[in-house]
Amino acid sequence: MTNQIDTSTADNPETGVHPDVVDWSVLDSLKVLQKPGRPDMCRTLMKAYLDSIPPLMERTREAVSASDSDALRNTAHSMKSSSLAIGAVIFGKTCAELELLGKTNTLEEAPELLRRAENELAATCAALNKALASEGTVPSP
């Protein structure tokens, strides 16, 4: 049921982060909404994401552990939506798969998919933190 991502060659040896973990063009497209003299909106969104996603992932872990399909569906949906909104496409797609498991109450694959999601989230957070640590705004797409 799940589509596996080949992670054996996914890491960029220079950064340790999958090169496509964040589609920077998504954040770049939001720059048109930036108001002059206001804090950088893309950086604000990345920080908000990094603050909000760990509690959602924890609730997802708890849902999988408890075989709670409704909770899994809800938390995975929230993670999917916020991830896709900032360009975390790989992680967002995995969250969509978790959401589907919750919707269909077929949780047999959930633990394995959760492990994959945790790895993808770690890579996503590393990429976002690296971008935030840089002096400029988001990397160019």
Mean pLDDT (the chain) is 86
Q: 26 lies in a domain?
A: no
User: Which residue in 55, 56, 104 sits closest to 81, CA to CA?
Assistant: 56
- Residue 70: give the domain boundaries: 40-133
Q: 34 lies in a domain?
A: no
Residue 23: half-sphere exposure toward Cβ, Cα within 13 Å: 15
| Residue range 106-119, pLDDT digits in tens | 999 999 999 999 99
pTM of the predicted model, to two decimals? 0.81
Q: 12 lies in a domain?
A: no
CATH of the domain at 93: 1.20.120
Q: 87 lies in a domain?
A: yes
Q: 96 lies in a domain?
A: yes
At 13, is the pLDDT very low, low, confident or very high (cuts 50, 70, 90)?
very low
